């Protein structure tokens, strides 16, 4: 079974990991070292950033 292509680029994920303070855990490419909470925070930060971009473009109320 093939894996789905990721929506977020690796560059973006690493950038968010740095901002959230767990870059040291993933810098070698092993995302299995992060906690469920850290993964959730990564997704939450990505969503917030996307919403902010859309709001700035006028696509969100």
Domain that includes residue 28, residue range: 10-57
5 or 14: which leads in pLDDT? 14
Q: Examine residue 4 and state whether it is found in any structural domain, yes or no.
A: no
Q: What is the pLDDT of residue 4?
A: 61
Tens digits of residue pLDDT in 12-61: 999 999 999 999 999 998 999 999 999 999 999 999 998 898 888 886 65
Q: What is the pLDDT of residue 1?
A: 44
Q: What is the DSSP letter of 1?
A: -
Q: Which residues contact 16 (CB under 8 A, 6 or more apart)?
A: 42, 45, 46, 49
Q: Give the length of the chain.
A: 61
Number of domains in the chain: 1
Q: Examine residue 1 and state whether it is found in any structural domain, yes or no.
A: no
Q: What is the pLDDT of residue 8?
A: 84
Q: Examine residue 2 and state whether it is found in any structural domain, yes or no.
A: no
**Angle CA(14)–CA(32)–CA(43) in degrees, nearest 5?**
50
User: pTM of the prediction?
Assistant: 0.79
């Amino acid at each position: 079974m093939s894996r789905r292509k990721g929506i977020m680029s690796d560059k973006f994920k690493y950038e968010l990991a740095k901002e959230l303070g767990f870059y040291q855990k993933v810098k070698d490419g092993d995302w299995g070292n992060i906690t469920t909470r850290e993964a959730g925070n990564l997704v939450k930060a990505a969503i917030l950033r996307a919403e902010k971009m859309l709001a700035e473009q006028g696509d969100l109320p």
